[in-house]
Structure 1
Amino acid sequence: MANGSRQAVWEFFGTELKRRREDAGITQVELGARVFVSGAYIGQFEQAIRKPQLDIAQRIDEVLQTDGIFERLCRKLIDDQRYAEYFAEVVELERVATRICEFAPTAVPGLLQTATYAEAVTIAANPFVTDEYVKDIVTARVERANILRDATRPEYWVILHENVLRVPVGDPAAMAAQLTHIAELLRQRTVWVTVIPYGAGAHASMSGALKLMDFEDAPPVAYTETSFSGTLLDHPAVVKRAQRAYDLLRVAALSPEASRALIESTAEDYRRCTSTT
């Protein structure tokens, strides 16, 4: 489904939610209390600013007695097999975020991946899948990165652990191209990337990847991910803790200039490996 079509359906979701809620004589605050979110969140759903998670859509159906319409709409919009179920909503939020801050401890974040790197990561995690499956995953990942090319692109701040640079994904040529791509985005001032070196020690320790997203008219959210699952967090106190963790990681990172130099020198190391094979 094209991005414009998806947004149109989310807008229909919001319009229909408002109509059904008003027909039932229930305020946003009252509906929010009954489905365990704030009234402000209901308002954001109705304006298509924020997309409800599936369990919230199911509870809305129960309260408004709408015979599953909101669950069906929600499933239609998040049922994209190119993304893990737990990640589909994150992709939607990336498209409307004004700022994205990301920490990557082991692999290049999806928004920065080249097609060749994305292919190597996909095959490494799924060695028995078909070429068609790999192509779909890679295409989806490359399409996600289009938000960095839009005129209204979000600020994108990335902290990479040095592991990301040193652990080969694909052959040396693929790694050289991937790191060169990141360096080029830095030169174009499209992204802001820093690196936490091995020497930072315990300052760099985290259990998994972390993404923070800010929005123009909605509260911030955090997303944490491990190898097999991810969790979207929107409780203000939890998000605040995640933001503090990111601040500590930022302090442990090299300066932007030193980070770019390390990325470029590591890319050159991979190129030398290519020339000697």
Structure 2
Amino acid sequence: MAEPIDPSSSMAALFGARVRRLRLAAGMTQAELGAKTHVVSSRIAQIERVCGARPTLELARALDRVLGADELLVELWPYVYREMFPDWARVFIQLSEQATVIGQYAGHVVPGLLQTEAYARAVLSLDVRLSGEEQLEERVSARLERQHRLWSAERPELWVVLDEAVLRRPVGGASVMREQLARLLSVAGERHITLQVLPFDQGGHEALGGSLTVLTLPDGSEAAYTEGADYGQLMEETAEVSRYKVIYDRLRAAALPPLMSLDMIRSALEGDHRGAHIPSGAVRRRLAQEQLQQSGRWRLRRGEGRSPRARPRA
């Protein structure tokens, strides 16, 4: 007989132990539970023994429903999912879920909070460490689940600067990219979302080669996170965060204003690679100066309110 799994050893072990206990209490075999949740019995065994891929959110919901767990398994699932990431990534995910303001610079792909399902699948499938289709679907499900907060009553303010490369690179193919660009345009009118595009003609900058996120938390504290293709770094020390806030403010100042940014997104959607009209250098400098002077305004909008405008954009 196999040795029992210690539920305290990991969140996945706790999840598996709960599934096993609920299954036995319901008088079901692994095969019977698998049939009711539309998976093979070996999948139930993997969950209970903590081997193989982690359960997807969809499977957690099905198990919860069939076993009458009263949302217990659904509530445990995010912790099981986060466990797959390094410690610093887990902390970043937790902070992001609490943040009242999220400022992002995206250098290569659309940020997860604004991705369509097809675009998210295309991006996540590029991970060389991916173990298979099941893990891919698990990650897509988790990414889409995190987007729900952006449309909840507790939604954060979101300000995203997209490098022009994000618009021009057809991740997933032309049809997937068209759907993604249309999503950006559709969310650009939301009061809590601001989109800007940093055009190629701005040249190099301090965040070139990666992405940058600045988080403001409910208690007023802040954190910064930088990420590349195979690394990530979370910073919570005040001096370090301040340095990256300055970099982010410079990127916002150098980017096109929101309305001009939407023109550029629209031109990419329509396949006009000449791009939207970009103002002259003098006009750009004036706009940049105005944005720098107002650099603190976006952090205060939750308290001060904001005039209506168009909407866009886990």
1:232 CA displacement: 1.0
The change in CA–CA distance for 1:204 and 1:240 in structure 2 (over 3 A counts) is: closer
Equivalent position of 2:245 in the other structure: 243
User: Given the superposition, is the C-alpha separation of residues 82 and 103 from structure 1 closer, same or farther in structure 2, using an over 3 Å criterion?
Assistant: farther
Identity %: 35
Q: How many residues align?
A: 196
How many Å separate the matches in 1 of 2:99 and 2:207? 27
Instruction: Show the counterpart of 1:228.
Output: 230
Matched, 1:142 2:148: no
Unaligned runs of 5+ in 2: 1-10, 12-76, 273-314
**More displaced 10-residue stretch of structure 1: 195-204 or 157-166:** 195-204
Q: Secondary structure at the match of 1:118?
A: helix
Match of 1:166 in 2: 168
Residues 111 and 145 in structure 1, CA contact (< 8 A), matched pair in contact too: yes
TM-score, length basis structure 2: 0.58
Q: Do the aligned partners of 2:206 and 2:247 also contact (CA within 8 Å) in 1? A: no
One-letter amino acid matched to 1:93? L
Distance 1:77 1:186 in 2: 28
Letter in 1 for 2:254: A
Gaps of 5+ in 1: 1-5, 7-75, 271-277
Distance in 1 of aligned mates of 2:83 and 2:113: 15
Secondary structure of the residue that 1:124 maps to in structure 2? coil
> Is this contact kept in 1: 2:99–2:218, CA < 8 A?
yes
Change beyond 3 A, Cα 1:182–1:82 = farther
2:29 corresponding residue in structure 1: none
2:50 aligns to what?
A: none
Q: TM-score, normalised by structure 1?
A: 0.66
Mapping for residues 57-72 of structure 1, pairs under 5 Å: none
1:264 Cα offset (Å) = 1.6
Match of 2:270 in 1: 268
Matches within 5 A, 1:25-40: none
Alignment match, 2:81: 80
One-letter amino acid of the structure 2 residue matched with residue 260 of structure 1: L
Q: Which residue in 2 is equivalent to 1:133?
A: 135
RMSD between superposed Cα atoms in Å: 2.2
The corresponding residue for 1:216 is 218
Flag the 1:82–1:258 CA change in 2: closer, same or farther, 3 A: farther
- Amino acid of the structure 2 residue aligned with 1:163: A
Rg larger for:
2
Q: CA deviation at 1:201?
A: 1.0
1-side partners of 2:83 and 2:138: how far apart? 6
Partner deviation per Cα, 1:168-196 (whole Å, 9 max, x = no partner): 10010100000110111112334111000
Runs of 4+ in 1 over 4 A off after TM superposition: 76-79
Structure with more of its chain in helix, by fraction: 1
Deviation at 1:78, TM superposition (A): 5.2
